[in-house]
A and B are shown apart, each in its own frame.
Chain A
């Protein structure tokens, strides 16, 4: 079909810490690798979208890649930046406004927790001054409530992190490549109860670029195109529990992730039961647990058994975060959403090497989540 969109090129700059390399340089490196993987030149690209939170303006990478005059839209949507860039490019391709698009996400953050300013998020400065403006607090309080409501154990939180580091040890582009046992995770420093140091990802550095092509052009390029069946992006509804909320309503509503995931599956005509591999936002262990159910990949409360039984490991029934996720790769905000798609495309191509999901791997899913309640989900297939 003419309006089908495929991922035809992958490029990544390793995640971690890279002294002396700017965010924009990492973006250009990832972009060149994606072009090479697709077997095209920068001049062939007729639309680009990209973004970072703290690494610079994506469109200035044309200075390194070449001044071809193409339209290049910068996006900035917190942790969902990569998903927003992808949404933009996908819409340009399906509308016929472009044939080949490049999306790029990158970032470079200093060590330690993020320190966003309340004024940038529509909140009074008192919120930050009094010690409430911390993403880690939100994640801890969301999983604390969730554990009480749905019977999730601390052991399960630790297993999520331990799995991430196991998978990261198989990924040459990951930052944290040393396996950690469940006991080591549980025994690490308490950060925000019930979450310990190794249950949290760290802000880091890295870049990912993807080349997308439309309809016939994707087939002409050869290689192993992976269809991007859908992209859905949502902001929060009244009643969802989101980061940076001085208050939340007593009546609850589904999260932005729940709505984005449902829309992505509906647009793709594929259900959660068909998913062979998934990449979920795992800012911390609890996020992966909750997002498993919010995306519809399992029922609320079912995670305890799923994770304890090993179902979400690479060899399990529903492999999740096979590249180590945010926990092993760190969180360069602008790059995370595209890293997820990069990993799913590798898995669907059968090119994931030591961490390749065994057996049938035809349908993949990604979900990225960010402040102050945005989520973007994709469904991909071969």
Chain B
């Protein structure tokens, strides 16, 4: 059973679940099984419009990554000033059998990131002062993997 949502997501229809166990809201094609994120009304693979909502798996592996070392321009970034900018990690996380999702990473030390490492979905405060939460992936410690 899904828990009651106890956080404000950065956008509607993007993140479900609870702060403790958030879930990404994607979609799955009922004709060919293709999974997308965010949710789409049609299938990018087979063009079918028979698409339904799907809560994506919370664990995966790091497929590729980088560190954002400079402050993005605003707009579109939510923070107008570059002052106090802290570099952040970005990556694609492969959710097995589903899709590779682009996300912020909780880790921004290049020495602590490697392709193939296990990751888990979490929430971080969205940039800016909206008080909303956005999704991110955090490296899983070895003892947590099983």
Residues of A that sit less than 8 Å from B by CB: 112-113, 115-118, 124-134, 137, 140-142, 144-145, 148, 189-195, 238-239, 245-250
Within 8 A of A (CB), among B48-94: 63-70, 72-78, 88, 90-92, 94
Cα A166 to Cα B70 with chains together (Å): 27
**Nearest-CB distance from A257 to chain B (Å)?**
18
Structural contact, B99 and A250, CB atoms closer than 8 A: yes
Answer whether A192 and B76 are a contact pair too, CB < 8 Å, given A124-B14, A250-B99.
no
* A142 CB contact (under 8 Å) in B64, B73, B75: B64
Structural contact, A250 and B98, CB atoms closer than 8 A: yes
Structural contact, A190 and B76, CB atoms closer than 8 A: no
Structural contact, A126 and B67, CB atoms closer than 8 A: no
Structural contact, A126 and B14, CB atoms closer than 8 A: yes
Q: List 23 A-B contacts (CB under 8 A).
A: A113-B72, A115-B73, A125-B76, A126-B10, A126-B11, A126-B134, A129-B126, A131-B68, A131-B104, A132-B102, A133-B72, A133-B77, A134-B72, A144-B64, A145-B64, A148-B115, A192-B68, A193-B67, A193-B69, A195-B66, A245-B102, A247-B99, A250-B98
Taken residue by residue from 10 to 47, chain B's Cβ proximity to chain A (1 for < 8 Å, 0 otherwise) reads as 11001000000000001000000010111000001100
* B121 adjacent to chain A (CB < 8 Å): no
Answer whether A192 and B77 are a contact pair too, CB < 8 Å, given A126-B11, A129-B126, A132-B90.
no
Tell me the total A-B contact number using a CB cutoff of 8 A: 124
Structural contact, B69 and A191, CB atoms closer than 8 A: yes
Cα A194 to Cα B78 with chains together (Å): 25
Within 8 A of A (CB), among B86-118: 88, 90-92, 94, 97-104, 110, 115
Residues of B that sit less than 8 Å from A by CB: 10-11, 14, 26, 34, 36-38, 44-45, 63-70, 72-78, 88, 90-92, 94, 97-104, 110, 115, 126-128, 134
Cα A134 to Cα B74 with chains together (Å): 11
Residues of A within 8 A of B101 (CB): 246-247
Structural contact, B65 and A246, CB atoms closer than 8 A: no
Answer whether A129 and B78 are a contact pair too, CB < 8 Å, given A137-B90, A246-B101.
yes
Please name the residue on chain B nearest to A118 by beta carbon. B76
Residues of A within 8 A of B69 (CB): 189-193
Residues of A within 8 A of B103 (CB): 132
Answer whether A250 and B128 are a contact pair too, CB < 8 Å, given A126-B134, A132-B90.
no
Please name the residue on chain A nearest to B15 by beta carbon. A126
Interface core residue of B65, B88, B110 (most chain A CB under 10 Å)? B65
Residues of B within 8 A of A115 (CB): 72-76
Residues of A within 8 A of B99 (CB): 247-250
Closest 10 A-B residue pairs measured CB to CB? A128-B76, A115-B73, A140-B66, A145-B64, A126-B11, A247-B37, A129-B78, A141-B64, A192-B66, A238-B45
Cα A148 to Cα B91 with chains together (Å): 15
**Nearest-CB distance from B2 to chain A (Å)?**
21
Residues of A within 8 A of B134 (CB): 126, 130
* B63 CB contact (under 8 Å) in A116, A133, A145, A245: A145
Residues of B within 8 A of A128 (CB): 72, 75-77
Residues of B within 8 A of A140 (CB): 66
Cα A116 to Cα B70 with chains together (Å): 16
Residues of A within 8 A of B66 (CB): 137, 140-141, 144, 192-195
Cα A26 to Cα B94 with chains together (Å): 46
Residues of B within 8 A of A124 (CB): 11, 14, 38
**Nearest-CB distance from A203 to chain B (Å)?**
11
Residues of A within 8 A of B34 (CB): 238, 249
Structural contact, B45 and A249, CB atoms closer than 8 A: yes
Interface core residue of B14, B70, B126 (most chain A CB under 10 Å)? B70
Structural contact, A144 and B68, CB atoms closer than 8 A: no
**Nearest-CB distance from A291 to chain B (Å)?**
18
Interface core residue of B34, B72, B99 (most chain A CB under 10 Å)? B72
* B97 CB contact (under 8 Å) in A129, A245, A250: A250
Residues of B within 8 A of A112 (CB): 73
**Nearest-CB distance from B119 to chain A (Å)?**
14
* B100 CB contact (under 8 Å) in A113, A118, A249: A249
Answer whether A247 and B36 are a contact pair too, CB < 8 Å, given A141-B90, A141-B91, A191-B70.
yes
Residues of B within 8 A of A127 (CB): 76
**Nearest-CB distance from A135 to chain B (Å)?**
11
Please name the residue on chain A nearest to B135 by beta carbon. A130
Residues of A within 8 A of B37 (CB): 246-247
